[in-house]
Structure 1
Amino acid sequence: MRFFFLIILPLMLTVNHAFAQACPQMGQTPQSAFPICGTRELKQASVPLCAGRRINMPSCRDAVPPTEFTDRNPFWYKFTCYQAGSLGFTITPNDLGDDYDWQLFDVTGRNLNEVYTNASIQVAGNWSEIEGLTGANNTGTRLMNCEGRAYPKWSSMPTLQVGHEYLLLVSHFTNTQSGYELAFGGGSAVITDPKPGEFANAEYRCLNNRITVKLNKLFRCNTLAADGSDFVLTGSTAGITSAAGVNCGTGFDMDSVVLTLDRPLPAGNYTLQVKTGSDGNTLLDACDNPIAAGRSIAISVPIPQAVPFDRIEQVGCKPDRIRVLLSDPVLCSSVAADGSDFRISGTGPAVSVIAATTTCAGQLTDTIDLLLNGPVYLEGNFRIDLVRGADGNTLISECSVETSLGQMVPFITKDTVNARFDNRVRLDCVYDTIFLHHNGAHGVNSWNWAFEDGDTRTDQSPVKVYTLFGQKTVMLKVNNGVCEAEHTENILLNNTLIAAFRIGTPVLCPLDMATFTNESIGNITGHRWDFGFGPGTRLVTPQPLRFPIAGREQVYQVRLIVTDDLRCEDTVIHTLKTVPSCRVAVPTAFSPNNDGVNDFLYPLNGYKTADLVFRVFARNGQLVFESRSWSQKWDGRINGSPAAVGTYAWMLEYTDTELGNRVFQKGVATLLR
């Protein structure tokens, strides 16, 4: 079996796990990975030392001791699966005392740098610390083996998917430069490209007299003869002077080649053919399979045409530059930097081009930005004429054909717009109305109103009705098809009217005076108080008032009616209760027989108490009832069953809210049935 030898000169680098540096040598990064031929062994004579980069390995986060996984002293390999199946391979160190690790990634459609961050693309791996051979075969029991001597050196064979692209990392944990052999076998997947080499397409470019060749697969860069002798062009006296593989500066393989000719190709039909070059071969893929000598492709070179000047990017609001869009690229050098290739005229404000900029790729550009002498704020009809600029020419195509004079592109500008609007408010008792209007100046034909309550309108003069008053927010966006503007205003509906008052205490004991605090809001011009007895008052805040005390509880309704400057009214009613006594007392007897008379035991008249605790005890000292509100009453039951007839002790403590002192009482009550 032939061996594919890759001899890598060692490059000594400091190993640093915390601040890993990039490995600079070809093959040591995912982007410059070696292409794989699955039918041959690869031999790395030595492994350059470098620190590598950290790899996110959540499947091994519980490793003991904690381990940081890096592509230390790495080489990377790339391949595509052409037939689905299992992948088997062996890494054999030149020094069997060396420790090699590996990790396989599915990078289909991925940025290759995701191998360091995206754990979801990890397919299989082995980071065991055991020295010697490693890889994937049918003796492996798991796809992923983490760091440590407890993990075996062999992983189970991963299953590859057809059409998917993979990267294999081989990391040399031992800091020596002794190499290894990498051989594939034992699995059913096919990772060798079966396609014969073919031309995909070929195109002649006038600039620098080059032919760009696209191939149907990857070929090794080092099999391309730099003098271009792998190709011959028939039908012309032009000769090929050099060949360069695209991306060969950063990788080992290519699928495109750029051929340089010694003279321009006139219009006509030609044939590009593969032959054995001065290096003794045609192009070879990773398995040394050639693109066969004699393979050919036709190249048609049309008569060179000028690039027309016929299109610009749509002009926006208050433009200060105009972008010219070309159907084919022109020479960057043919565009005058002062913009003198273009002249603007029209019926609007005076506009001129003062500079032209291009973004060039390989001396060519298909976009030209024209800088104007200032923003155009007003409406106008203009045209851009192509003229011969200060450089003595118009635009020149890649094939050196100048665009003819007399070509122009029309464009229009629109006035800038203003979204300020007028508003008129009509206040009422129930409904407030806001009348809105925008003048539609400067060609405005689109209105979008938005209100703070989520309501929207699209007419020029909407009417908005509110039943809840106060500050409102109105936002308007206007548009004339090109320019747009936005404006927001806060509008106060200041006729909110709310009648509100607070009573000093909702329960009046004998000799207590009722006090009232007026909390009404609005542009109030009048107050009418009704206390439920006697005459009312029109004062803003009534004087303290003593209510009649009867021999039983009495409830009064206190009403306040307020009137504002629009003669609108609002009413509020609160209740107030008078009681014949506020002396706290506990009955000496009660009869819980549900006859509606003395059915409960509780502290009476606790209107002016706070932090109250009332407890009832049986004769044996058992606590049978406890409450912390004087309105909670004992119904004569213990654990849901009727208590026995007899005498029960009680204890009461509370804070007198009028005097502020703490009161303690105790006594006995008789339960009767």
Structure 2
Amino acid sequence: MSAQNCTQLGQTPQSAFPVCGTKALKQASVPLCDGRPIPLPSCNDHADYEDVNPFWYKFTCYEAGTLGFTITPNDLQDDYDWQLFDVTGKAPVLVYSDASLQVAGNWSAIPGNTGASTEGTRLMACSGYSEPKWSSMPTLKKDHQYLLMVSHFTQTQSGYQLSFGGGTANITDPLAGAFLRAEYHCMDNRVGIRLNKKFRCATMAGDGNEFELVGSTVRVIGSMGVNCNSGFDMDSVMLYLQQPLPPGNYKVRVKTGRDGNTMLDACDNPIAAGKEIDFTVPVPQSVPFDSIGNIGCMPNKIMVYLSDPVLCTSVAPNGSDFRLSGTLPGISITKATTFCNSKLTDSIELTLNTTIYHEGNFDIDLVRGSDGNTLISECGVQTPLGDRMSFFTKDTVNAAFSSRIVLDCVYDTIFLEHDGAHGVTDWQWSFEDNTTASGRTYEKVYTVFGQKTVQLQVTNGLCSAQHTESILLDNELNAEFAMSAPVLCPLDMAVFTDQSTGHIIAHQWDFGFGNGSRSVNPNPFRYPIGSREQAYEVRLIVENDLHCFDTAIHTIKTVPTCRVAVPTAFTPNNDGTNDFLYPLNGYKTADLTFRVYARNGQLVFESRNWLNKWDGKINGSPAPVGTYAWVLEYTDTEFGNRVFQKGVSTLLR
């Protein structure tokens, strides 16, 4: 037999059986149905955990303690699994997605009895034959609600018995049954009764023989538990009467029915025969308007709320029960939508023929509609003509703003202004630097120039709008220049190239030697070459059209020679003179490799940067005095040729 979707009552968390701690529950058979996955992160074994062929049970903990129970298969060769969830304040369906609801479980593959008892050594047993059939007893919390899922892994319809015992928790409801309130409904001559706890639907007869009206000849001819179509228990009852009741005070009494009991809870505890509840049948009244829902901005629908429900059938769908008038012409009601519950509605949505974009004052008057009546109450009373409600609308708003820029060398200012039209009462400015401001006008000051973003959000209390603009502060001035080389060899010419940005009107160069220049890119310049290195400070000052100035400074160095050479000797004695061995004057080299070898051929130093120097040590210890061979390779960047040199240097101390 192939499995089907789990649709039978009790096979889903939402329709779970109510259970009692003092009463064993027998399931004669278990219908086959598809299972849904249950996340069990504590069982990291990649097995499929599903509520296969399940029944679900629900209960409340009335006294904290441990929970013990036994599942006894009718066929002891059948394999049953179970999982317990704490669903307090949660939707039952979350057991399929929220692993935090899990309390304990057992998915062992061993057939026969299972459950929670003193035989268990841990709360959770995963799948497989190596897992124990009994889990330890979980601790329940007072006033928490629980769901127990029993899954029939074996694909047969043989049933089982579920019994509770061995633990210290109390899951038996101690509350005595009672009525909370009763209310008469004219339509269908009904009395709705609210109970103080849940009773099993199956214990109440549908012909109402468990109820009577005290001191009245009107009989109860039917009864129905609310939500009994989708569950096993109820906390509200609807009684149907033989005929309408005239205005007055009445009393409902529960009595023992022809089935030998009143209504019974999950533990077969009855609501005591003789319990009574008073109710009043008021003089029928018409139903007036109560309020209008939030209008908001640009309304095209209006929600009208009533003080009490009216018959849905009394509301003309074309909206003709309502007439709209106001300061803006041409606006009318074209449709009325009801939100019916048991043929009654206490709210009506009115659709307009157009959206209202402007400020206005309006009235909604109740008139006799195309159906020949106004609104009719549950008890059949029409609302008199002339009932009226008022509302107002506001203009839509525009957040566009004007701006004026004042540029300066140090501070730039953007003057912002909104026109305040259409009743705007609140202005919120925000900027790209995460600063904010309020008010109809604002002055934003910047010390860093460039592209800026201004956003304004406005509202008049009902309508809101937002507008964003990009504003360029284009007086950004930055002095910068490039040099042909940071080091000049003999006969080299210095070439300076302007890289400044801004609306520049003047350049002033100071080369640190000789005359300066006012050209954008000055002519190549030759520095004097002496017998020693010499550094010069090169300065560029630029001026923009606002007569603002900025300065860039770089240092250029001249050297007496750029001929690459390796000394024939060096003295690493830390006296500050000739302490290192390295290629001198490697200013115009690239892809350089410098290696030093001991007499036995050992590589004692290697560098790919000519400024990295051998300090005369091998593995951190001073190298012995003697001669060392070196090899030097590099590319001459001036001529582009590859150079190879080798030689020896003497280490002296």
TM-score calculated relative to the size of structure 1: 0.92
Deviates more, 1:251-260 or 1:528-537: 528-537
Does the Cα contact within 8 Å between 1:451 and 1:474 map onto a contact in 2?
Answer: yes
CA positional deviation for 1:505? 0.8
Q: Do structure 1's residue 250 and structure 2's residue 233 form an aligned pair?
A: no
Residue correspondence of structure 1 range 158-197 to structure 2 within 5 A = 158-197=138-177
Residue matched to 2:516: 536
CA positional deviation for 1:420? 1.2
Query: Residues of 1 paired with 2:575 and 2:75: CA distance?
Result: 105
Residue matched to 1:28: 11
Residues 464 and 664 (structure 1), Cα distance of their counterparts in 2 relative to 1, 3 Å cut: same
Residue correspondence of structure 1 range 180-259 to structure 2 within 5 A = 180-259=160-239
CA positional deviation for 1:271? 0.7
Quick one: which amino acid aligns to residue 522 of structure 1? G
Aligned equivalent of 1:496, options 453, 476, 479: 476
Instruction: Kindly provide the CA deviation profile for residues 468-522 of structure 1, in whole angstroms up to 9, marking residues without a partner as x.
Output: 2212111111122221211111111122222211011111111222222221111
Does the Cα contact within 8 Å between 1:236 and 1:265 map onto a contact in 2?
Answer: no
Q: Do structure 1's residue 664 and structure 2's residue 644 form an aligned pair?
A: yes
Residue matched to 2:113: 133
User: Could you say what secondary structure the match of 1:120 adopts?
Assistant: helix
Does the Cα contact within 8 Å between 1:310 and 1:408 map onto a contact in 2?
Answer: no
Residue matched to 1:154: 134
Aligned length: 653
Q: Do structure 1's residue 398 and structure 2's residue 384 form an aligned pair?
A: no
CA positional deviation for 1:229? 0.9
CA positional deviation for 1:118? 2.5
Residue matched to 2:367: 387
Aligned equivalent of 2:40, options 34, 43, 57: 57
Quick one: which amino acid aligns to residue 351 of structure 1? I
Residue correspondence of structure 1 range 84-95 to structure 2 within 5 A = 84-95=64-75
Quick one: which amino acid aligns to residue 47 of structure 1? V
Residues 588 and 430 (structure 1), Cα distance of their counterparts in 2 relative to 1, 3 Å cut: same
Residue matched to 1:606: 586
Residue matched to 2:262: 282
User: Could you say what secondary structure the match of 1:311 adopts?
Assistant: strand
Instruction: Kindly provide the CA deviation profile for residues 262-321 of structure 1, in whole angstroms up to 9, marking residues without a partner as x.
Output: 222222111100112233332122333222221111112222332221421232222212
User: Could you say what secondary structure the match of 1:611 adopts?
Assistant: strand
Query: Residues of 2 paired with 1:642 and 1:282: CA distance?
Result: 107
Quick one: which amino acid aligns to residue 261 of structure 1? L
Q: Do structure 1's residue 336 and structure 2's residue 296 form an aligned pair?
A: no
Residues 181 and 310 (structure 1), Cα distance of their counterparts in 2 relative to 1, 3 Å cut: closer
Query: Residues of 1 paired with 2:584 and 2:443: CA distance?
Result: 61
Query: Residues of 2 paired with 1:258 and 1:499: CA distance?
Result: 88
Quick one: which amino acid aligns to residue 275 of structure 2? R
Does the Cα contact within 8 Å between 1:235 and 1:269 map onto a contact in 2?
Answer: no
Q: Do structure 1's residue 367 and structure 2's residue 367 form an aligned pair?
A: no
Residues 645 and 475 (structure 1), Cα distance of their counterparts in 2 relative to 1, 3 Å cut: same
Does the Cα contact within 8 Å between 1:436 and 1:461 map onto a contact in 2?
Answer: yes
Residue matched to 1:8: none
Quick one: which amino acid aligns to residue 40 of structure 1? K
User: Could you say what secondary structure the match of 2:42 adopts?
Assistant: helix
Residues 178 and 379 (structure 1), Cα distance of their counterparts in 2 relative to 1, 3 Å cut: closer
Residues 513 and 370 (structure 1), Cα distance of their counterparts in 2 relative to 1, 3 Å cut: same
Residue matched to 1:37: 20
Instruction: Kindly provide the CA deviation profile for residues 77-99 of structure 1, in whole angstroms up to 9, marking residues without a partner as x.
Output: 22222222222222222222222
Deviates more, 1:495-504 or 1:193-202: 193-202
Does the Cα contact within 8 Å between 1:144 and 1:155 map onto a contact in 2?
Answer: yes
User: Could you say what secondary structure the match of 1:60 adopts?
Assistant: coil
User: Could you say what secondary structure the match of 2:173 adopts?
Assistant: coil
Query: Residues of 2 paired with 1:529 and 1:535: CA distance?
Result: 9
Deviates more, 1:253-262 or 1:143-152: 143-152
Quick one: which amino acid aligns to residue 58 of structure 1? P
Does the Cα contact within 8 Å between 1:141 and 1:155 map onto a contact in 2?
Answer: yes
Query: Residues of 2 paired with 1:561 and 1:535: CA distance?
Result: 15
Does the Cα contact within 8 Å between 1:557 and 1:574 map onto a contact in 2?
Answer: yes
Residue matched to 1:351: 331
Instruction: Kindly provide the CA deviation profile for residues 619-664 of structure 1, in whole angstroms up to 9, marking residues without a partner as x.
Output: 3444443333222223334454544443333222222222223222
Quick one: which amino acid aligns to residue 25 of structure 1? Q
Query: Residues of 2 paired with 1:634 and 1:428: CA distance?
Result: 55
Query: Residues of 2 paired with 1:637 and 1:81: CA distance?
Result: 82
CA positional deviation for 1:457? 1.8
Aligned equivalent of 1:479, options 449, 455, 459: 459
Residues 28 and 314 (structure 1), Cα distance of their counterparts in 2 relative to 1, 3 Å cut: closer
Deviates more, 1:148-157 or 1:614-623: 614-623
Deviates more, 1:396-405 or 1:288-297: 396-405
Does the Cα contact within 8 Å between 1:38 and 1:191 map onto a contact in 2?
Answer: yes
User: Could you say what secondary structure the match of 1:374 adopts?
Assistant: coil
- Structure 1 unaligned segments of length 5 or more: list them: 1-11, 16-20
CA RMSD of aligned residues (A): 2.1
Query: Residues of 1 paired with 2:277 and 2:224: CA distance?
Result: 19
Quick one: which amino acid aligns to residue 404 of structure 2? R
Residues 22 and 614 (structure 1), Cα distance of their counterparts in 2 relative to 1, 3 Å cut: same
Residue matched to 1:7: none
Query: Residues of 1 paired with 2:135 and 2:412: CA distance?
Result: 79
Instruction: Kindly provide the CA deviation profile for residues 28-51 of structure 1, in whole angstroms up to 9, marking residues without a partner as x.
Output: 222222222322322222222223
- Structure 2 unaligned segments of length 5 or more: list them: none
CA positional deviation for 1:355? 1.7
Residue correspondence of structure 1 range 416-435 to structure 2 within 5 A = 416-435=396-415
Query: Residues of 1 paired with 2:121 and 2:579: CA distance?
Result: 82
Does the Cα contact within 8 Å between 1:561 and 1:570 map onto a contact in 2?
Answer: yes
Q: Do structure 1's residue 81 and structure 2's residue 69 form an aligned pair?
A: no
Residue matched to 1:458: 438
Query: Residues of 1 paired with 2:410 and 2:440: CA distance?
Result: 26
Residues 320 and 511 (structure 1), Cα distance of their counterparts in 2 relative to 1, 3 Å cut: same
Aligned equivalent of 1:99, options 54, 79, 83: 79
Query: Residues of 2 paired with 1:235 and 1:405: CA distance?
Result: 39
Query: Residues of 2 paired with 1:537 and 1:146: CA distance?
Result: 87
Q: Do structure 1's residue 512 and structure 2's residue 495 form an aligned pair?
A: no
Quick one: which amino acid aligns to residue 451 of structure 1? F
User: Could you say what secondary structure the match of 1:356 adopts?
Assistant: strand
CA positional deviation for 1:135? 2.2
